[in-house]
Chains A and B, each alone.
Chain A
Amino acid sequence: MHKGTNKKPAETPGIVYFNQTLMTAPYLVWALAFIIIPLLMIFYYGLTDKTGAFTLENVIAITTAQHSKALWLALLLSLISTALCLLLAYPLAMILAKRSVSQQSFIVLIFILPMWMNFLLRTLAWQTLLEKTGVINSVLTFLHLPTLNIINTPAAIILGMVYNFLPFMVLPLYNSLTKIDPNVVNAAYDLGANGTQTFLRVIFPLSIPGVISGITMVFVPALTTFVISNLLGGSKILLIGNVIEQEFTQASNWNLGSGLSIVLMIFIILNMVLTGIFDKNGEGTAL
Chain B
Amino acid sequence: MIKQCAQKVYIGLIFIFMYAPIVTLMVLSFNNSRTRAKWGGFTGKWYAELFSNRSIMQALYNTLLIAVVSAVAATLIGTVATLSISAMRRRSRAVFMSVTNIPMLNAEIVTGISLMLLFITLRVKFGLGTILLSHITFNIPYVILSVMPRMKRLNPSVYEAALDLGASRVQAFFRVVFPDLLPGILSGFLMAFTMSLDDFIITHFTKGPGVDTLSTKIYTEVRKGIKPEMYALSTLIFVTVLILLILVNYTPKSKEKQSSGQNGGSL
Contact with B along A223-256 (1 / 0, CB 8 A): 1101100010000000001001100100000100
Q: Which of A86-141 contact B (CB under 8 A)?
A: 88, 91-92, 95, 101-102, 105-106, 108-111, 113-126, 128-129, 135
Q: Decide: A220 and B77 in contact? CB cutoff 8 A.
A: no
Query: Is A76's CB within 8 Å of the partner chain B?
Result: no
Query: Is B90's CB within 8 Å of the partner chain A?
Result: yes
Q: Decide: B169 and A18 in contact? CB cutoff 8 A.
A: yes
CA distance A191 to B182 in the complex (A): 44
CA distance A168 to B83 in the complex (A): 28
Binds A, one of B40-48, B49-57, B99-107: B99-107
Q: Decide: B249 and A105 in contact? CB cutoff 8 A.
A: yes
Q: A248: which B residues are within 8 A, CB to CB?
A: 113, 116, 205
Q: Decide: B263 and A92 in contact? CB cutoff 8 A.
A: no
Q: Decide: B21 and A284 in contact? CB cutoff 8 A.
A: no
Q: Decide: A124 and B115 in contact? CB cutoff 8 A.
A: no
Q: Decide: A283 and B145 in contact? CB cutoff 8 A.
A: yes
Query: Is B61's CB within 8 Å of the partner chain A?
Result: no
Q: A264-B107, A284-B104 are in contact. Are A117 and B117 (CB under 8 A)?
A: no
Q: A14-B87, A35-B99 are in contact. Are A129 and B20 (CB under 8 A)?
A: yes
Q: A261: which B residues are within 8 A, CB to CB?
A: 107, 109-110, 113
Q: A115: which B residues are within 8 A, CB to CB?
A: 194, 198
Q: B249: which A residues are within 8 A, CB to CB?
A: 105, 108
Contact of B21 among A36, A88, A122 (CB under 8 A): A122
Q: Decide: B24 and A128 in contact? CB cutoff 8 A.
A: yes
Query: Is B84's CB within 8 Å of the partner chain A?
Result: yes
Q: A287: which B residues are within 8 A, CB to CB?
A: 145, 149
- Which residue of chain B has its CB nearest to the CB of A16? B87
Query: Is B88's CB within 8 Å of the partner chain A?
Result: yes
Q: A37: which B residues are within 8 A, CB to CB?
A: 118
Q: Which of B192-231 contact A (CB under 8 A)?
A: 194, 197-198, 200-201, 205, 214-215, 218-219, 222, 226, 230-231
A28 to chain B, nearest CB (A): 8
Range of interface residues on B (Cβ < 8 Å): 35 or more
Q: Decide: A257 and B77 in contact? CB cutoff 8 A.
A: no
Q: Decide: A121 and B117 in contact? CB cutoff 8 A.
A: no
Binds B, one of A39-47, A48-56, A172-180, A199-207: A39-47
Q: Decide: A42 and B245 in contact? CB cutoff 8 A.
A: no
Q: A41: which B residues are within 8 A, CB to CB?
A: 114, 117-118, 121
Contact of A45 among B80, B117, B156 (CB under 8 A): B117
Q: Decide: A285 and B145 in contact? CB cutoff 8 A.
A: yes
A154 to chain B, nearest CB (A): 19
Q: Decide: A282 and B97 in contact? CB cutoff 8 A.
A: yes
Contact with A along B129-162 (1 / 0, CB 8 A): 0000110110010000100110111001001000
A193 to chain B, nearest CB (A): 19
Query: Is A216's CB within 8 Å of the partner chain B?
Result: yes
Query: Is B93's CB within 8 Å of the partner chain A?
Result: yes
Contact of A117 among B25, B99, B219, B250 (CB under 8 A): B25
- Which residue of chain B has its CB nearest to the CB of A162? B17
Question: Interface centre among A91, A115, A124, A241, by most B CB within 10 Å?
Answer: A124
Q: Decide: B105 and A272 in contact? CB cutoff 8 A.
A: yes
Q: Which of B52-98 contact A (CB under 8 A)?
A: 77-78, 80-81, 83-90, 93-94, 96-98
Q: Decide: B260 and A221 in contact? CB cutoff 8 A.
A: no
Query: Is A189's CB within 8 Å of the partner chain B?
Result: no
Q: A24-B84, A102-B260 are in contact. Are A268 and B107 (CB under 8 A)?
A: yes
Contact of A30 among B140, B230, B245 (CB under 8 A): B140
Interface residues of chain B, those whose CB is within 8 Å of chain A, are: 7, 10-11, 14-15, 17-22, 24-25, 28, 36, 77-78, 80-81, 83-90, 93-94, 96-111, 113-118, 121, 133-134, 136-137, 140, 145, 148-149, 151-153, 156, 159, 169, 173, 177, 194, 197-198, 200-201, 205, 214-215, 218-219, 222, 226, 230-231, 234, 237-238, 241-242, 245, 249-250, 257, 259-260, 262-263, 267
16 sampled A-B residue pairs with Cβ under 8 A:
A2-B153, A17-B83, A27-B84, A27-B85, A27-B140, A42-B117, A92-B10, A105-B249, A108-B245, A118-B214, A121-B218, A122-B22, A128-B24, A282-B93, A282-B97, A287-B145
Instruction: For the complex of A and B, list the 3 residue pairs with the smallest distance between their C-beta atoms, beginning with the closest.
Output: A38-B114, A125-B21, A27-B81
